[in-house]
Amino acid sequence: MSRIRRIVTAARGIVRYTWTWIQPVPDSDFWSRPPDLPNRHDAYAYAWPRSFLLVGLVAPRLPPDARILEIGCNVGRNLEALRLAGYRDLTGVEISRDALDAHRTYYPDSRARLVQADVTRDPLDLPPADLVFSMAVLMHIPPASEEVVFRKMATLARRWIISIEDESPEHASLLRYYPRRYDAVWPSLGFEQVEERSCADVPGLGAEYVARVFRRGAG
Ligand SMILES: C[S@@+](CC[C@H](N)C(=O)[O-])C[C@H]1O[C@@H](n2cnc3c(N)ncnc32)[C@H](O)[C@@H]1O
């Protein structure tokens, strides 16, 4: 192949790849079948350091028989990390069928219950959990849907909520990013913050992310 033809082929590939990322599709359609490589389930299956952060927040607070629900679990790596830490009652909700189908390929010993649902639209017909958590998920829920999603999570959370989300206002201009302060969100729904931690040192997250632990208030 001539040099010019190679350059044209490479340029076409870059344009096509960029278009898959920026094309104007509704957020739910994008996440149902993400066309870009960084958001395919392969990319999430081995991102263990961020799961270790989660386990470090959960283990001091919840016993192994606690019921735990993850919103936006993707391939379910966080659920597997919790299973390896001794937790048995694990449920994940996720919009992407492909990601859920890959769960037992990656983690054959998992017994996690997986539910395909769009949390912005579908009712979450699940029993309440001791802990409801999300990691890098609520930051992709658009403002028009935030109230309904937060209320569903607050209703399902018997005692604990953990948010590990991008809160950087500078990222508000990015496509499909809706950063917000979760220390304002969960207290307005009856939870008090008991821990806050920067994720600057966590590979796969970074300084824009804040991990926050909330406990249901007495009222
Ligand atoms: C950035 S990924 C994070 C995945 C996983 N929590 C982790 O940290 O590895 C965001 C996840 O949220 C899911 N998601 C986005 N919008 C959703 C919705 N409306 N309902 C259910 N899941 C959704 C995506 O499909 C994707 O798996």
**CATH label of the domain that carries residue 172:** 3.40.50.150
Q: What is the pLDDT of residue 219?
A: 59
Residue 27's pLDDT is: 84
- Binned at pLDDT 50, 70 and 90, residue 69 comes out as very high
pTM across the whole model: 0.90
| Residue type present at position 172 | A
Question: Does the residue 157 lie in any domain?
Answer: yes
Q: Give the position, in ligand 1's atom list, of the atom nearest the Cα of 134.
A: 6
With respect to residue 55, please indicate whether it lies within any of the assigned structural domains: yes
Flag the least confident range among 11-15, 57-61, 117-121, 154-158. 11-15
Q: Tens digits of per-residue pLDDT, 94-126?
A: 999 999 999 999 999 999 999 999 999 999 999
67-71 vs 209-216, strand pairing mode: unpaired
Tens digits of residue pLDDT in 137-163: 999 999 999 999 999 999 999 999 999
Domain region containing 108: 27-216
> Is 124 part of any domain?
yes
Residue nearest to atom 12 of ligand 1 (CA): 72
Does residue 144 fall inside a structural domain?
yes
Among 54, 74, 178, the mutation site with the greatest number of ligand 1 atoms within 8 A of its Cβ is: 74
Query: Residue 11 falls within a domain, yes or no?
Result: no
Residue 6 domain-assigned? Answer: no
How far is 41 from 75, CA to CA, in rounded Å?
A: 6
- The answer to whether position 45 is within a domain reads yes
Q: How many domains does the chain have?
A: 1
For residue 75, what are the contacts with CB-CB under 8 A and spacing of at least 6?
41, 44, 45, 99, 100, 102, 103, 106
Give the distance (Å) from ligand 1 centre to CA of residue 190: 24
Residue 181's contacts (CB-CB under 8 Å, 6 or more residues apart) are: 167
Beta carbon of 51 within 6 Å of any ligand 1 atom: no
77 lines ligand 1 (CB under 6 A): yes
- The tally of CA atoms less than 13 A away on the side-chain side of residue 58 is 33
**Residues facing 195 on adjacent strands:** 213
CA–CA gap between residue 180 and residue 63 (Å, rounded):
30
Tell me how far CA of residue 164 lies from CA of 54, 144, 167, 188, 209, in angstroms: 8, 21, 9, 18, 7
Residue pair 132/153 in contact by the 8 Å Cβ criterion: yes
- The reply to whether ligand 1 has any atom less than 6 angstroms from the CB of 140 is yes
Q: In which band, very low, low, confident or very high, does the pLDDT at 134 lie, cut at 50, 70 and 90?
A: very high
In a domain, 22, yes or no: no
